[in-house]
Structure 1
Amino acid sequence: MARAPQPDFLVVGAPKAGTTALHAALAQHPQVFTTTPKEPKFWLCDDAPPPHWCGPGDRHSQQEWIWRRADYAALFRDAAPGQVRGESTPFYLWSRSAHRRIAAELPSVRLIALVRDPVDRAYSNWMHLWSDGLEPVADFEEAFALQDERVERGYAPFWRYRDLGLYGEQLAHLRTLVDPARLLVIRYRDVVDDPGGTVDRACRFLGLETGLVPVIPRDNARPFVTPGWRSRLLGPTVRASAALAQFAPPEWWRRASRPLTGLLAGGGQPFRPHLTPEQRARLLPAFADDIELLAEVTGEDFDDWLSTDSRGSYLQREQRTG
């Protein structure tokens, strides 16, 4: 009997917590079929186009959301009969409505959630948007404080620097709808410190042969763009171009923006500055209660996230452990 064209597993999040790296590793496994695009975002929609988000670049990027059921099904039709099929949309973990749709329509799907120190995750999230020229606020703490105002203005989920890191609340809700046996939680530090073992852990969870993918590709880190004349001059140009890109095919923006973001990064540096202990101390109260909840939900200890020591980017951490 032909299988229904749908996923057997989902990498559900969180953004900037190693989802791209794990997806790339699993895509190398011969028993796995992954979708193109990597992030269809189908379960964020409700058989209707995505909301008309209005943050910088949002209306351009939502053109790539796969919201029609037939289009989503088509993503899985080229999978070989014996392959395990999956996709990775890191916003599913955050979205309560996605939880409900996934639970109702994919009763046997397996879910992989990656979690990362929520302050470091938020900083990496801001860094991603800042280095792409989309984030206009050069100070991370100031941008972090703007989340609720931006939500009220209709910014897309990726601008939720705080909320995307509330894994305790997210997993507690998800576990009310999905059998916890079908949910695997992986820590970002394991992606960096033990890549081969982490892939094998995911493979065992998915019923795949282990030992076939010994490494995890580096994540999609960007060089840090130092605030200065480049960001003041080129940032508004990038944001204006992204606004115009909503009227053009997505591939147009990718080609047109490459020279601009290249110039923007030209004055940057490979490593972003560490958050100071004082900065972390000011940000930790936003997550402390949720970290405690996450420990209750998973039965694991996350007290290291309450430290005021910054851990740095993927590349910085990898070099320390290499």
Structure 2
Amino acid sequence: MAQPDFLLIGAMKCGTSTLATQLGLQDGVFMTTPKEPNFFSDDDIYARGTDWYAALYAEAAPGDLKGEASTHYTKLPTYPDTVARMTALLAAPRLVYMIRNPMTRAVSHYIHEWSEGRMSSDPVQAFESSEEITSYGCYGMQIAPFVEAYGAAHIHLTSLEQIKADPDAEFTRIAAFLGLPDTAAWVHDLPAQNISAERMRRLPLQGLLIDHPLAAALRRRLVPKSLRAWIRAKRTMTTRPEIPKDLQNRIETRFVEDRDRLAAIFPDHPALDLCYPFAPQ
């Protein structure tokens, strides 16, 4: 049965879409469509069976390194069965875990949920009521089950900060870990993936009333441009939300405690300094 050689396992809002696209552009690398199968995490997708998952790799050429990128794999406590399902099928895959400043990640997570209409316009209420915003950025906690299952040697920890600082050098390290040819290189003229300059909140029946080509044509014909612009502005988050200092301090304290767990697994890793500027020195 066709299986992946490697998986990008998250974290959410940390640049995995860009990394997956960069890897897919390399000779000898095959990435799945969809990019995020979420096979091992989501119950309804896992129920489709291993033949469905194997079929995602059916078009890979002989000798290709096969991979996928699913951020759901490091979303505890939402998807608790991921590692057990993965180890039952995959003996020794190479895993890439991409992180970033967890506080910045949390704000991006909130903006994403707000734009999808799943969280209110009150970021304080969202942070207080949604455990996932914080827990998905507890990287030590998230990666620990994979370390226990496969060993730290099978995991490459990287960060958005490292790739931004020196994409060529960090991509070379990732390529070497995955076993790509020496010719593998970062593509510099590729736009960042899964990023938008403006965050627009989705509406009920968005697909039918907003995104459908016929609805769009009627809207352009019947609704004045000035009114369309006003409605668009009302649905757009133009500035990143401000998190009150006391709430930020509480969240950062939790992240610093989790950083110690991450440091125990990956001691002296550059991400420990780059991603945690708020940690005591």
Q: TM-score, normalised by structure 1?
A: 0.70
Q: Structure 1 counterpart of 2:194, which letter? A: N
Counterpart of 1:113 (choices 76, 97, 101) is: 97
Compared CA separation, residues 282 and 265, structure 1 to 2 (3 A): farther
Tell me which residue corresponds to 1:222.
196
One-letter amino acid matched to 2:171: V
Letter in 2 for 1:219: Q
The CA deviation at 1:38 is 0.3
Q: Does 1:22 align with 2:19?
A: yes
Deviations 1:192-217 (A, max 9, x none): 11112222211101111134332364
Q: Which residue of 1 aligns with 2:225?
A: none
Mapping for residues 127-206 of structure 1, pairs under 5 Å:
127-130=111-114, 132-148=115-131, 160-206=132-178
Give the counterpart letter for 1:171 in structure 2.
I
**Given the superposition, is the C-alpha separation of residues 175 and 99 from structure 1 closer, same or farther in structure 2, using an over 3 Å criterion?**
same
Task: From the CA coordinates, give the structure whose radius of gyration is larger.
Answer: 2
Q: Give the partner amino acid of 2:193.
A: D
The alignment status of 1:212 with 2:184, answered yes or no, reads yes
Paired residues of 1:41 and 1:66 also in contact (CA < 8 A): no
Cα distance in 2 for residues equivalent to 1:124 and 1:81:
39
The percentage of counterpart residues that share the same residue type is 27
* Distance change (3 Å), C-alpha of 1:26 and 1:190: same
What pairs with 1:232-243 in structure 2 (closer than 5 Å)? 238=203, 240-241=204-205
Post-superposition offset of 1:14? 0.5
> How far 1:15 sits from its partner (Å)?
0.5
Secondary structure at the aligned position of 1:87 is classed as strand
For the structure 1 residues 143 and 273, does the alpha-carbon distance in structure 2 shift closer, same or farther, using more than 3 Å as the test? closer
Write the distance in 1 (CA, Å) between the matches of 2:47 and 2:175.
Answer: 27
Contact 1:277 1:308 in 2 (8 A): no
Pairing of 1:14-163 with structure 2 (within 5 A): 14-45=11-42, 49=44, 67-94=48-75, 95-130=79-114, 132-148=115-131, 160-163=132-135
Alignment match, 2:249 = 281
Gaps of 5+ in 2: 220-227
Q: Tell me, yes or no, if the aligned pair for 2:110 and 2:119 is still in contact at 8 Å.
A: no
Consecutive unaligned residues in structure 1, runs of 5 or more: 51-64, 149-159, 226-230, 246-251, 310-322
Deviation track 1:124-182 (CA, whole Å, cap 9, x = no partner) reads 1111222x34134113232111114xxxxxxxxxxx21111111112222111113221
- Contact residue 128 and residue 221 of structure 1 kept, 8 A: no
Query: How many residue pairs align between the two structures?
Result: 259
- Conserved 8 A contact 1:223-1:272: no
| Deviations 1:26-59, CA, capped at 9 Å, x for gaps | 01001100000000111114xx525xxxxxxxxx
Q: Shift of the alpha carbon at 1:275?
A: 5.7
Residues 1:136 and 1:101: Cα distance change in structure 2 (over 3 Å): closer
Displacement of 1:272: 3.3
CA RMSD of aligned residues (A): 3.2
Measure the CA separation in 2 of the matches of 1:256 and 1:291: 45
Q: Which amino acid in the other structure matches residue 77 of structure 1? A: A
1:265 Cα offset (Å)? 5.3
**2: CA distance between counterparts of 1:19 and 1:139?**
27
Amino acid at match of 1:223: A
3-state secondary structure, aligned to 2:205: helix
* Aligned residue in 1 for 2:264: 296
The aligned residue for residue 222 of structure 2 is none
Q: Distance in 1 between matches of 2:170 and 2:276?
A: 24
Go from structure 1 to structure 2 and tell me whether the alpha carbon gap of 1:113 and 1:97 turns closer, same or farther (over 3 Å shift).
Answer: same
